[in-house]
Structure 1
Amino acid sequence: MESVAGLDVGVKKSALCLVTRDAASMRPVCRHRTATDPSSIGTWLASQGVVRVGLEAGAQSSWLARELEHRGFEVTVMEARRQRAFGAYSKVKTDERDARLIGEALATGLYTRVHVRSVWSQEARALLGARLQLKRQVQQARQFVRGHLRAIGR
């Protein structure tokens, strides 16, 4: 019997659901809520004996996946749109339910894995984005001053 965990990542708190699967059935075993911190998540997963973890792609997923992999877990980052379709049959939307659906998708193989960018790639993209934003702000300030000077005839 294999145990996997689904992780629904939130800004401050994350929901985890442990799912077991054997040849005949699949069922959620336990649920847990913890701070969105790799050490607290990793501690709980290790205490449950989990090796495989699944989470949706999102703003914090690459950082969290990288940190959990450093702690020895096999992490799968899943495409969020596919996961939304996987749980669309239910009208109830909670973090715990999303964690369960992520765990079930990981256990059954019904997911699309996404590529997690390297740290270098993320840093380079952030720096280029910041540079572009600064250039836009300088241009906007320049146009603002020119417009006001024109209004007084200068």
Structure 2
Amino acid sequence: MTAESQTIKTYVGLDVSLSDTHICVLDQSGKRLFRGVVPSDPIVITETILAHATCCERVAVETGATTPWLWRELRRRGVPAICVDARHASKAQSMRRNKTDRNDAEGLAELMRIGWFKEANVRTPEAQYIKSMLSARYQLRLNRRDILNQMRGIVKTFGLFTGSTATRKFPEIVRKVVDEHPEVAPMLAPLLAVHDSMIEQIKYYEDQLKIIAKNDENARRIMTVPGVSYLVALGFMSAIDDPSRFSSSSKVGPYLGLAPRVRQSGETSWSAGIGHAPDPMVRSYLYQAATILLTKTATWSKLKACGFRIYKRAGFTRAAIAVARKLAIVMHSIWIDGTEFVHGKAKAA
């Protein structure tokens, strides 16, 4: 290997799957220096990069389920890995005629070479732990709702209508139906058992999350915002992870998918509604917090007053979305400044 070849900058693209990883290495002029397939093992990937990509500038890894672990392992071994937003990379590579793992790896390397990529944040292990626990609870609640709807469908089929599943008394109503109509017990008893087990596991997750929020000073300060519970605070913190990566608190709203999109062509311009949410669960939490602030919170605040002004002008849904965006901004500011929420006093009419 000559001294000149050792100074040529190289760029690497990794298309990762559970078993194999396709690797492509390009030089600064776009010439392909290496293409191959290795096991999805950080040690093997690192050895391959060191062997074929001298003076490596950037290594692309798309966002995915295994990305946080792989990114951290590569970084720990000195590989300049960059986590690339998968949606952005997909749009950039959509012009390729054939979509294969080999072509995807080469496309990622090309994005690294020309510098046209959007870097995604990789959560810390602590934030990933909280995020995983919140996601597990969220999924259990969705499954519980499906179980309730299934039980309601069964009793309706046999003419035993029990009303909405939204009421907390619905499982007790179903138990009463089972006692009064033993013929439906073989269908409803297993579903009731699964429902009760889910309730226990959901409570376990909630107890663990309450302990985490209680021991976290930042979470306690964020929870001083009206309408913000421990779930909203922890979900928001796990989604943001590092508050300093936002130069302004006003950028948090668009990042969470709470800002309206603008479509403009010629002399026509219109709003296309809120955009894509990188974390739909957190966005739904913020929307619920805004709803509680507008409908349940009795104490006056500028947030509530602003929400009611929008409500009178544009309706409740848009008002709740606007308040959710403002909640995210306020929570980020509190996190950065180390302060707490101040309600203030309403001005005299």
Per-residue deviation, 1:40: 1.1
1:101 aligns to 2:101 (yes or no): no
1:11 aligns to 2:18 (yes or no): yes
1:111 aligns to 2:117 (yes or no): yes
Between the aligned partners of 2:177 and 2:84, the Cα distance in structure 1 is 54
User: In structure 2, do the counterparts of structure 1 residues 63 and 143 end up closer, same or farther at CA, with 3 Å as the change threshold?
Assistant: farther
Between the aligned partners of 1:32 and 1:145, the Cα distance in structure 2 is 60
More strand as a share of residues? 1
Per-residue deviation, 1:101: 0.5
Between the aligned partners of 2:75 and 2:69, the Cα distance in structure 1 is 10
Per-residue deviation, 1:57: 1.1
One-letter amino acid matched to 1:47: A
Between the aligned partners of 1:138 and 1:81, the Cα distance in structure 2 is 31
Per-residue deviation, 1:109: 0.2
Q: Which segment is superposed worse, 144-153 or 34-43? A: 144-153
Q: Is contact 2:13–2:106 with CA below 8 Å preserved after alignment?
A: yes
1:46 aligns to 2:73 (yes or no): no
Between the aligned partners of 2:94 and 2:144, the Cα distance in structure 1 is 45
List 4+ stretches of structure 1 deviating above 6 A. none
Identity over aligned pairs, percent? 26
Aligned residues: 151
User: In structure 2, do the counterparts of structure 1 residues 143 and 114 end up closer, same or farther at CA, with 3 Å as the change threshold?
Assistant: same
CA offsets per residue over residues 106-133 of structure 1, 9 Å max, x none? Answer: 0110111111111110011112222344
Q: Which segment is superposed worse, 94-103 or 34-43? A: 34-43
Q: Which segment is superposed worse, 5-14 or 79-88? A: 79-88
One-letter amino acid matched to 1:7: L
Between the aligned partners of 1:115 and 1:105, the Cα distance in structure 2 is 17
Per-residue deviation, 1:78: 0.8
CA offsets per residue over residues 78-137 of structure 1, 9 Å max, x none? Answer: 111221121111220110100000001001101111111111100111122223445566
1:70 aligns to 2:76 (yes or no): yes
In the superposition, the TM-score normalised over structure 1's length comes to 0.85
One-letter amino acid matched to 2:45: I
Which among 80, 86, 94 is matched to residue 80 of structure 1?
86
1:121 aligns to 2:127 (yes or no): yes
Per-residue deviation, 1:49: 3.9
